[in-house]
Structure 1
Amino acid sequence: MTQALLKPWFLVCTLAIGGGVLAGCQPKSDVQPEAAKQQSQNKENAISAIQAKVVPVKLSKPEACDAEGCIQYDIQTVNSNLKWIDDYFIARIKKADPIAFSTEPNQKINTSDGAAPNLSQSSTYVRFVSQYYDQATFAIQSYSYSAGAAHGMYHQEFVNFDLNTKKRLALEDILVKGAEQQVLDALYDANTMWLEQHNIERSQLKLSDNFYYGANGLVFVYPLYELASYAEGMTELNLPYAAMTQLIKAEYLPSLPHYPAP
């Protein structure tokens, strides 16, 4: 009696297990669900939020010397979550200061009577400035002092990247084709008082390719002595975004509020 009751139960279990095995052996569909496809595409198109810190660069020659004296180097760059940006700045630095990375031994300094060995300085610092979705801005600050000079010389260059194309943006890349003269006129109009105080006529002003995205407008940066004295420092001229809505390509124009008409 017991055996008779067990046999049907055993058959049912065997069929159920067998059915499970057969079901598990069915070939999987090669077609991804639409949601998974969309998620994968979104991940590929996502723009990373930049995380960057300033770190010292290891130099072969922190102090490079020849017969006339030495140059002391202090170089710092960014270490970010985007390697191609880090590589860009290291390449720039090595090209600008190849001696600091040279493995050639230093020359002996001339210390004979009447000799006056020089001690000069060269500093380069790279830092992260800001990010506007797929556009990021960094700054290269440099300082050099040659022994015997009245003062050192400094410069700050802003480097703007398109994070989609992984390329540096020049001014011509963000402007509407043929808009340069209109931008120049608008820049002069927006800074007329300061420019006239420095005796700079409209025909003398040129567009600078050194620029960055400011809080209220595109900021054009000019080197020492170009528009003002050394004491006044590097000149920055601001051109409000509201004056550039038809002059900057849509993909490079920050999102602006709809201000009421005056």
Structure 2
Amino acid sequence: MLKHMNRFGKLSVICASMIMLGACQPKSDAETKKSNETAAQAKQSESWYIESKNVELKPKQKQVCDEAGCTEYSFQTVETNHPWINMYFKNRIEKADPIPFQSATKSSETKTVDPLKLSQSQTVVRYLSQHQNIASFEYLSYVYPAGAAHGMYHKEYVHFDLKTKKRIALQDLIVKGQNKKLLETLYSANSMWLTDHNIEQDKLELSDNFYYGVDGIVFVYPLYELASYAEGMSELTLPYVSVNGLIQSEYLPNLPKLTAE
């Protein structure tokens, strides 16, 4: 009995030694490369991750008066974990409305103004979404001149490629040489609405303002360009099922692979 136990004990030691020896064996070049690539991808994804909150951007003058009257300004921007994005919006806001960010002179000091005679100007930036290395934001500007029937607003969608740290322009999005085909496809997908608004195909142009919708890429047009003020900013959708060969795949969200029935 003891002899069998000793033999079993020796076998256990041998097996344990073999397992430990196998664990200590160096990885093959292929395994090492794959491990390094996985670690690099994880690190890259972590560097792309967006954290964002809305913050007030305080001007030096909240109210500015000139010969035309007085305007009250309000600015709200984003504070993200990517300083270059924060700086992009800060610089853009200050460039669009430079006077409120200048030091007040004696002649432009804040004075009490009848609220009915005070114009309003508001700018709001907000974070929308992220898919892979693309981060999307909305830039909203609103102006209400005192005494006007209504204000004027504009929504612009801003997309950043977190790999290159650059804004994605319309021409980055479109496959080279496919502008005409894309425009034809966009018109076809929205022909009923466009026909109802008396817009012929040769009169439609691509908007450089777009966002990623649920069903496709949505091209957004300014007030009055395609429809009345009451209808708001017009939106034309290019369905994702139609973008193959028209839109650069790197600038598309992860889409399910659809098979024709």
- Short-chain TM bin: 0.7 to 0.9
Bigger Cα displacement from structure 2, 67-76 vs 119-128: 67-76
SS at match of 2:217: strand
CA contact (8 A) 1:221 1:235 kept: yes
Deviation, 1:118, is 4.1
**1:257 maps to which residue?**
256
**1:82 maps to which residue?**
82
CA contact (8 A) 1:69 1:119 kept: yes
**2:197 maps to which residue?**
198
Cα deviation, 1:3-23, whole Å, max 9, x if unaligned, reads xxxxxxxxxxxxxxxxxxxxx
CA distance in 2, matches of 1:154, 1:254: 28
Deviation, 1:119, is 1.7
SS at match of 2:192: helix
Q: Which runs of 5+ in 2 are unaligned?
A: 1-31
**1:227 maps to which residue?**
226
Cα deviation, 1:189-230, whole Å, max 9, x if unaligned, reads 000110001011101110000001111110000000000000
**1:218 maps to which residue?**
217
CA distance in 2, matches of 1:232, 1:42: 45
| RMSD over aligned Cα atoms | 2.2
Deviation, 1:250, is 1.9
Deviation, 1:79, is 0.8
Normalising by structure 2, what TM-score?
0.80
CA contact (8 A) 1:245 1:253 kept: no
Alpha-carbon spacing, 1:147–1:45, altered in 2? closer, same or farther (3 Å): same
CA contact (8 A) 1:56 1:75 kept: yes
Normalising by structure 1, what TM-score?
0.79
**1:58 maps to which residue?**
58
Alpha-carbon spacing, 1:68–1:172, altered in 2? closer, same or farther (3 Å): closer
CA contact (8 A) 1:67 1:108 kept: no
Deviation, 1:37, is 5.7
SS at match of 1:60: coil
CA distance in 1, matches of 2:230, 2:38: 55
Q: Which runs of 5+ in 1 are unaligned?
A: 1-33, 112-116
Cα deviation, 1:241-260, whole Å, max 9, x if unaligned, reads 11011111121122222223
Count residues with an aligned counterpart.
224
SS at match of 2:232: coil
Deviation, 1:41, is 3.5
CA contact (8 A) 2:212 2:218 kept: yes
Percent identity, aligned pairs only?
52
Deviation, 1:105, is 1.9
Deviation, 1:108, is 5.8
- Residue 54 of structure 1 aligns with an amino acid whose one-letter code is N
For 1:168-207, list aligned pairs within 5 A: 168-207=167-206
Deviation, 1:38, is 5.3
CA contact (8 A) 1:68 1:118 kept: no
Alignment of 1:159 with 2:158, yes or no, is yes
**2:27 maps to which residue?**
none
Deviation, 1:94, is 0.3
Bigger Cα displacement from structure 2, 170-179 vs 35-44: 35-44
CA distance in 2, matches of 1:161, 1:145: 30
Structure with more helix by fraction = 2
**1:6 maps to which residue?**
none
CA contact (8 A) 1:65 1:106 kept: no
CA distance in 2, matches of 1:243, 1:231: 30
CA distance in 2, matches of 1:108, 1:252: 47
For 1:124-163, list aligned pairs within 5 A: 124-163=123-162
If you compute each CA radius of gyration, which structure gives the higher value, 1 or 2? 1
